[in-house]
Amino acid sequence: MAIDYDLVLEELKKEAGPLAKIFLDKAMDALEIKDLNDSNYKDVLDVLKMNPTLKKYVEAVEKRLNGI
Amino acid sequence: MAIDYDLVLEELKKEAGPLAKIFLDKAMDALEIKDLNDSNYKDVLDVLKMNPTLKKYVEAVEKRLNGI
């Protein structure tokens, strides 16, 4: 299964709720990433993990996505 | 000398021009950082460095700021 925006968003929402979309979009915007894929999603998760509020949620998502 | 938003912005502008402000603000927004100081500016520069277009400019800024 390939990683895309919808999948990452769905996994983030499971952990952190609907507001996750705002932070996902901000992180992508900061990196000038228009769409998520296997090669760039880790950078976006790294940015999200630098937000102390989100760190633990993102780590849980990361573990699941790394197993895909 | 302490590091603050104006100083980081000024240094980034020297390297990358006026558009640097947009990226600085986006990176701070993604991390939910309201103001820059000695303890959080490195996180913001790390995000900026993850943008391939900005990487070399930000590295130059980082070297100067680390020497402050």
Tens digits of residue pLDDT in B2-61 = 999 999 999 999 999 999 999 999 999 999 999 999 999 999 999 999 998 899 999 999
This prediction has a pTM of 0.88
Q: Please state, in angstroms and rounded to a whole number, the distance separating the CA atoms of residues A6 and A57.
A: 17
Are A47 and B53 a contacting pair at CB < 8 A? no
For residue B67, what pLDDT is reported?
82
Return the percentage of chain A with pLDDT > 90, whole number: 91
Place of tokens 């895309």: A4
Q: What is the mean pLDDT of residues A50-60?
A: 93
Residue of B27, B32, B43 lying closest to A53 (CB–CB)? B32
Question: Which tokens belong to A30?
Answer: 């900061």
Helix locations, chain B, DSSP H: 5-16, 20-30, 41-49, 55-66
Nearest residue on chain B to A55, judged by CA atoms? B31
> Would you state the pLDDT for residue A23?
95
**Alpha-carbon distances, residue A51 vs A39, B1, B64 (angstroms):** 21, 26, 25
Asked if A8 and A27 count as a contact pair (C-beta separation under 8 A), the reply is no
Mean pLDDT of chain B: 94
